[in-house]
Amino acid sequence: MTYGIIRILISVCFLVTIFFFIKRFLKSPKKRKIAIILLFFVGIAFCAITFLFPIENFVWTFSSPEAVFKYAGTGEIADVIDGKHSCMIIYSNGRNSYSTMIAHKDANGYKLSSALDYRVTSSINEKGVSAITYRLSQTTDNYVTVLWFSNESNSTIKDNKSSTFFSISSDISNGESPNTIFSYAFVENLNDEYALSLNNSEFFKLN
């Protein structure tokens, strides 16, 4: 939440400052009008840039993933899994819906990341299974998230990299339909084919 508020304040201060100079130094009403229109678009671009590039990383280091989320996220943390150079924060905004946030880590603590810091390397969306793998830029850290459904009392998920999976199960139908399961893992050596096995029977190959 603080992350967004700070960016809005920075953008407002930027726009007010530029507007002041326009009023102060441009005497022609026509030039002022053109400058204000340009200022509007420049302000939108400036605000977008501040969201894409976390300038806080130049001056701040966070002590924990929880501190990163408190600053940049909204909702409640459900879990945190560690990679070698990062961690993935799993959080919920309610209604049994889960999202993820990736934070960099170094010897001194944790840093903010942006959408430009990681990319989707493979995905599937078939037979009620939605899976995505992510790779953090300039590292070998990979993560996978899987949203799937199961009627099994002891549902299992595995991959061909022997990763350790964690799962959050939500029974929102009181047993009348399959449980919704959100699974996630840190994946090492994700440089070739990647496949998932659900309940030791269904196999899914990610492209």
Among 197, 199, 184, 183, smallest CA distance to 151 is for 199
Structure confidence at residue 132 (pLDDT): 94
pLDDT of residue 9: 82
Angstrom distance (rounded) from CA 106 to CA 129:
34
Q: Residue 148 corresponds to which tokens in the numbers above?
A: 């799937």
Percent of the chain with pLDDT strictly greater than 70: 96
pTM: 0.81
Answer for the pair 192, 205: CB distance below 8 angstroms, yes or no. no
Report d(CA 194, CA 132) in Å as an integer.
11
Give me the mean pLDDT over the 162-179 stretch.
Answer: 78
Is the CA virtual torsion 59, 63, 68, 70 positive or negative?
A: negative
Does the structure show a pLDDT above 80 at 172?
Answer: no
Tens-digit pLDDT profile for residues 90-109: 999 877 789 999 999 988 99
Confirm if 98 and 78 have CB atoms less than 8 A apart.
Answer: yes
Each residue's pLDDT tens digit, 34-89: 888 888 888 788 777 877 788 888 888 999 999 999 999 999 999 999 999 999 99
